[in-house]
Each structure stands twice: as C-alpha cells, then as structure tokens.
Amino acid sequence: MTMTGTADTPVFEGWTAHTVTTEEVVDAGRVRALAHLFDDGLPVPQIGDPLPPLWHWVALPEWSVSSSLGLDGHPRLGSFLPPVGLPRRMFAGGTVSFPGTIRVGDTITRESTVESVTDKTGRSGRLVIVVVATTLYAPDGTAAVREKQNLIYREAAPVSAQPAADPAPASAFVPIGSPIVPSETRRWDFLTDPTLLMRFSAATANAHRIHYDWPYATRVEGYPGLVVHGPLMTLSLAETHRLLADGTVVDTVSHRNSKPLFCGDDAALVYSGTGIDARVELVGAGGDVHTAIDLAFATGTTTDQGAWS
C-alpha cells in the first residue's frame, strides 16, 4: 500500500482514520482471571462492583478473527490501524482518566479512533507512532473511561541480532507462584515465568507470539527471550496502589514502557507517593526503569471509587 503525506504525518492510500463503536459486556470471568493471575490476596471484584483502574484491558478483550492475524500473531494492519509497513510493535504507554464508574457485568459502549500517525527516525531506524483514542461509556451514557494509547512500530531486527538458537535461562522455567511478592515497605518483587505470560495472553486475547513462542521471539524478532507484556507490567504497577489501600482514589494514570523485560528477569515494583499523587516504577536488576506509572488522585472520594483503592 502506497504511503504519501509529509515526513512526519504519513498518508496511506486506501486507509483513513475512522471511529469504531462497539457494545460490550464487562466480563466477570475475565475479571476473575486477572484476580487469580495476580493471586495477591485481594478480594475478587464481583458483579456490581466497580472495576479497578486499567482492568478494562482484561475485562473487555478484543478478539480478532483467526483469518485476520499476521505472522506475528497481531491482526494485519490496514483496517482500523494504518498499514505502516513495520513489523515490530511496542505498547509504549499512554494516559487513562476515570471520570465515571464502570461495574463488573455492565454493558458499555466503546468508541475508538486513530487520533494521529507520526513517522520518525530513531536510533534503531525508522519508527511510526500511532495514537489510539478510546472512550468507554457507562450504561447511563456518561463517559467512564477516557484513554489514549501510544503504539510504536519499528523496523525488523538486523540479521546479525537474530541468534540461530538461544537457550532459555534456567530462571525462565522456575514456577513463580504469585507474580507480586512483598519485599520491603512499598516495594514488591515482580516475578515472571512462561505460564504467567501465557495466561495473560489468553486473558487479554493477545496472540502476539513474542510473549509465548520462544523460537519466534528469539530467532525471528531477535529478542533474548520471551517478552513480558507491557500491559501486564503496567497493571502490576497499578495493583500496588490497591495493595496499599491507603484511601486515595485514582483519577488519572499516565504510563510509559521504556525498556522491555524478559521472562525470568529479576525486577521490582517500587512505590513512592503522597496523598496527591504517586509514582510506581518497575526496576530491573541493574537499576534501569523498564516501566513507570504516575497516578493522580481525586480530591474527594465516593463509596464506589473507594472500592478501587
């Protein structure tokens, strides 16, 4: 498909941004699946309970028909998302605000559109940044969640970076139990194994092969191991706020994934904050921040939102 337009704002022949509107149900089974995946001792949200912040990523999965999937397991580009022509996709971050309440079991309306497409050149070559804007409407028609997601598409890894075979580290095969384990005050160890990644892929309808297909991740895309999902890292960071249960209510979440984490790598969730805002970082063994979220808290609380804490 031909690409025209300016260097920074490409135009793709045969594709235009459009709004997709769907009616969906906040699935109690999916909510239970995420609660069981975290296995952190918090009560499982039941029918009628407010959905915790960001849990709509799991409770409202978007399943693609099998014939629409590409080699990497993602839906082929060119329908809702633009045909950017770059094979590697990264969930880079975004912002989510919660002007209302969504409850488990609600029938909601989702409106999504591609807000912008930006072509850039980075250290690793050409990349395209796609911003997707989504609003979730509660049953009464009011906006309950407003979200912008930043997706980055990159060029394929150079052939020299693609190992013919890369044995998995022993740590990737040790059963972890719960992925979020208390370590110190406001600090938790974050543990991963292939089973966790498979379960999260299934819970979120994410067929991207870098998360569960070791030969594909290492030999085709050139990664040193299975890649931990960006949304899983972000949700785990947000879960620390629920574990603290300090009475604050999340109004806005800003999140950024800056460095991939690989299955079995040592990592920790580190929380710092006040009664106004907080920052939670996923820190690797070398001290690098892989993912971070910034939480802004509402100035007042309600019974419904208090259940989010």
Residue 228: Cβ within 10 Å count = 28
pLDDT at 162: 52
pLDDT: which is higher, 39 or 67:
39
| Residue 291, CA distances (Å) to 104, 134, 257 in order | 27, 22, 4
Task: Assess contact for 262 and 217: CB atoms under 8 A.
Answer: no
- Mean predicted confidence (pLDDT) in 260-264: 94
pLDDT class for 300, splitting at 50, 70, 90? low
What's the chain's average pLDDT? Answer: 87
Residues 6 or more apart whose Cβ sits within 8 Å of residue 135: 110, 111, 143, 145, 146, 147
Q: Given a cut of 60, is residue 309 above it in pLDDT?
A: no
pLDDT in tens, 45-55: 999 999 999 99
Question: Alpha-carbon distance 182 to 180, whole Å?
Answer: 7
- Mean predicted confidence (pLDDT) in 261-273: 95
Q: Given a cut of 80, is residue 158 above it in pLDDT?
A: no
Q: Given a cut of 70, is residue 57 above it in pLDDT?
A: yes
First to last CA, the chain: 47
What DSSP string runs through 209-250? Answer: GGGT-HHIIIIIS--SSPBPPHHHHHHHHHHHHHHH--S--E
- Mean predicted confidence (pLDDT) in 106-122: 92
Highest mean pLDDT among 16-20, 70-74, 169-173: 16-20
Number of domains in the chain: 1
Question: Alpha-carbon distance 123 to 213, whole Å?
Answer: 27
Give helix then strand counts, H and E, for the chain. Answer: 6, 13
Q: Given a cut of 80, is residue 305 above it in pLDDT?
A: no
Reduced to 3 states, what is the DSSP secondary structure of residue 95?
Answer: strand
pTM recorded for the entire structure: 0.88
pLDDT at 39: 96
Beta-strand (E) ranges in 83-123? 88-97, 107-122
Task: State the residue range of the domain holding 288.
Answer: 3-306
Task: Assess contact for 166 and 215: CB atoms under 8 A.
Answer: no
75-106 in b/e form (b: 16+ CB < 10 A) is bebeebbbbbebbbbbbbbbbbbbebbbbbbb
Question: Alpha-carbon distance 197 to 218, whole Å?
Answer: 16
Length of the chain: 309
Q: Given a cut of 80, is residue 270 above it in pLDDT?
A: yes
Looking at residue 77, which CATH number applies to its domain?
3.10.129.10
pLDDT at 193: 94
pLDDT class for 9, splitting at 50, 70, 90? low
- Mean predicted confidence (pLDDT) in 180-191: 95
pLDDT in tens, 121-150: 877 788 999 999 999 999 999 999 999 999
Residue 165: Cβ within 10 Å count = 8
Kind plus residue range of the DSSP H or E element containing 182? strand 180-184
Residue 190: Cβ within 10 Å count = 27
Q: Given a cut of 50, is residue 274 above it in pLDDT?
A: yes
Could you give the count of Cα atoms lying within 13 Å of 294 in the half-sphere of its Cβ? 7
pLDDT in tens, 221-252: 888 999 999 999 999 999 999 999 888 899 99
pLDDT at 219: 87
Look up residue 49 and give its two tokens: 């309970």
**Percent of the chain at pLDDT exceeding 70:** 87
